[in-house]
Structure 1
Amino acid sequence: MNILCTNDDGYLANGIRVLAGAANALGSVTVVAPDREQSATSNSLTLHHPLRARLTSDGSYVVDGTPTDCVILAVNELLPSRPDVCVSGVNHGPNMGEDVLYSGTVAAAMEATVIGIPAIALSYAGDRPEELEGWEAVVRVILGKILGQEAFPEDTLFNVNLPGV
């Protein structure tokens, strides 16, 4: 399974490392993430300058754009083949209720769904992002349960919020 991993907190965020680590157990993961925090950017696109992508030493791509830009660029230019699923997060902060309208995390997953790739957005409601590392095994189980379903329709987006405990 080819997995596209992105976020809105930027490529250095703890959450994307946790998510990529959890997803690695389920398939081949490629990280394509913004070069800086892009929280609350919703489905915005970069229109006024060319997007730039940089390949890092660990094989991740860093993009000077929004989470939605990352998904579009990954699918149309960076990845050798279309991903089977897109996972976005783990966001530092919950994405529930009206928050999903503004969330770059959910927007990236939504963009994947719009272009026919099933997606999962994950967020963490805790106060300290360093606590996310303890959630990697839980995230792995959640991804496994969702992706292990016999039929995961391409027009499906799961929005998962981990509690702050």
Structure 2
Amino acid sequence: MRILLTNDDGIHAPGLDVLEKLARQFSDDIWIVAPAEEQSGAGHSLTLNRPVRLRQYDERRFAVSGTPTDAVMMALRKVLPGKPDLILSGVNRGANLGDDVTYSGTVSAAIEGALAGIPSIALSQVYAKEGMGDDVPFAAAEAWGAKVLARLLDAPFAPRTLVNVNFPALPAQDVHGIRVVRQGFHDYARGSLVEGTDPRGYQYYWFGLHGIEQTPGHASDLEAIQDGYVSVTPLQLDLTHEGSLGELATRFAG
């Protein structure tokens, strides 16, 4: 089984090393194509206003001077000798829960894989303490990642779908298990906006994505993580709101 690994934290990110260790439990045919630098929050963006450059580190490890989407596209069109059987993106440093998936470069790399018809899984490690930098503990992902992947490898993926996995910010032995849950909803109206002044005296603003949970039924990825479980969420790429089609069609009829 050929597996492509990528991320949005960059080619040197510790989470990518964790992901490689997990992947090698299932295959020796591992290829890594990741952004050269961190691309957190890049979403499903594609580089169009400058050339994308490719740097090779060894036979099957490459860095791309662009976004996670660029990395997957370069892997599929230029680097790999054939189509991979699976794409794994992560392990991201930080959660990708609820509406955050629309910002996430980690999830977007898996989206690009899904668009290419390849089973794709995004994996993220939640952490509790702010300002940890690269010191995020990946113990939960390391201990539970293979358990999650083993159950997904032969699972049928519907066309244009992917799976989003998040590991709670807990020691491995304190994780309660795995829950398959829906995507939650954040209320970002009360999210943080940090305001400051730089050394040259100019004002700046820094967004913080700290939303308020707004999930009916207490059955989403947000609550699963809060309750100490690994969350597994199937996502679809069709964003059409079916319930609105008929209403809008009548407004434009004739």
Q: TM-score, normalised by structure 2?
A: 0.61
Q: Secondary structure at the match of 1:9?
A: coil
What is the CA-CA distance between 1:135 and the residue it aligns to? 3.1
1:59 corresponds to 2:60: yes
> What's the C-alpha RMSD, in Å, of the aligned pairs?
1.6
Partner of 2:45: 44
C-alpha distance after superposition, 1:60-96 (max 9, x if no partner)? 1011010000001100111000011110001111111
User: 2:80 corresponds to which residue?
Assistant: 79
Structure 1 residue 155, shift from structure 2 partner: 3.1
The amino acid that maps onto 1:123 is S
Secondary structure of 1:81's counterpart equals coil
Counterpart residue number, 1:26: 26
Higher relative contact order (CA 8 A, sep 6+): 1
- The structural deviation recorded for 1:22 is 0.4
What is the letter of the counterpart of residue 119 of structure 2? P
Residues in 1 aligned to 2:7 and 2:39: alpha-carbon distance in whole angstroms = 8
Does residue 1:143 correspond to 2:144, yes or no? no
Deviation string, structure 1 residues 91-149 (Cα, Å, up to 9, x no partner): 11111111001000000000110111110000111145441156323212211111033
Matching residue of 2:181: none
Structure with the bigger percentage of helix? 1
The higher radius of gyration belongs to 2
1:87–1:120 contact (8 Å) kept in structure 2: yes
The 1:58–1:18 alpha-carbon spacing in structure 2 relative to 1, beyond 3 Å, is farther
Secondary structure of residue in 2 paired with 1:55: strand
Q: Which runs of 5+ in 2 are unaligned?
A: 171-254
Q: In the TM superposition, what is the alpha-carbon distance from 1:44 to its structure 2 partner?
A: 0.6
Moved more, 44-53 or 3-12: 44-53
1 CA distance for matches of 2:136 and 2:30?
Answer: 22
Q: Tell me how many residue pairs correspond in the alignment.
A: 164
Q: Which moved more, 1:124-133 or 1:56-65?
A: 124-133
1:11 aligned to 2:35?
Answer: no
Share of identical aligned residues, percent?
45
1:108 counterpart letter in structure 2: A
Aligned CA distance change for structure 1 residues 147 and 26 (closer, same or farther; 3 Å): same
